[in-house]
Amino acid sequence: MRFPAQIPLLLLAVAAPLAAQQRHNSDAPVNVSADSAELQDKQHRSVLSGHVVIQQAEMTLNAARVTLALTGEVVGGNPQISRVDAAGGVLVRRPGQTARSQYAIYDLNRRVITMIGAVTLTQGGNTVNGGRLTINLDTGRAVMDGSSVAGGTASGSGGDTGGVVTQGGGRVTGTFSVPKRN
């Protein structure tokens, strides 16, 4: 699928300031809170539900339900997390930037967040919408994809969508501010 030439340039207007931000400290501790938590020790995972808040350094992730993939190792009394799968009204906030979606995967080893299903990225007065957003926390590069994702189910999914990700149209759209003229 081809996009109009101006779409990638407009997306850069939103994503480029990310590179200027300080690199995310993905080695920082991950703090979690939720209404309930279930540790599934043999499966090396923990399932959190109800107003879940995950914080790492300056980044916060909110969702209805989160599954933490654990490595099985405990360092300094803390289990080691390798992946965060979030579902249900996912909100990721970083300084000056907010992203919303139906689902998100944070791969701590690769330092990449992938958000899917009705994704909205907002930075300042600029907004970009699409089907999938990938944020590389090392480089600050954000890539929005217009992929139509429908009919699939996500592992550990829940929330209001019954496990089905829906995003119609297959297009990236955006609204961008322009400089004020004197």
In this predicted structure, what is the pLDDT of residue 74?
85
- pTM value? 0.75
Among 59-68, 94-103, 138-147, the minimum mean pLDDT is found in 138-147
Q: Which residues pair with 143 in a beta bridge?
A: 134
Domain ranges of the chain: 6-175
CATH number of 6-175: 2.60.450.10
| Over residues 33-57, mean pLDDT | 95
Take residue 149 and report the two structure tokens written for it: 């994702």
* Model pLDDT, residue 98: 94
> Do the beta carbons of residue 59 and residue 93 sit within 8 Å?
yes
pLDDT, one tens digit per residue, over 64-103 is: 999 999 998 888 888 899 999 999 999 999 988 899 999 9
The token pair at 131 is 């089907």
Distance CA 83, CA 98 (A): 20
Averaged pLDDT of the chain: 80
Consecutive H or E run containing 10:
helix 6-20
pLDDT confidence of 10, banded at 50, 70, 90? very low
Please give the biggest Cα pair distance in the chain. Answer: 65
Mean pLDDT for the stretch of residues 35-64: 95
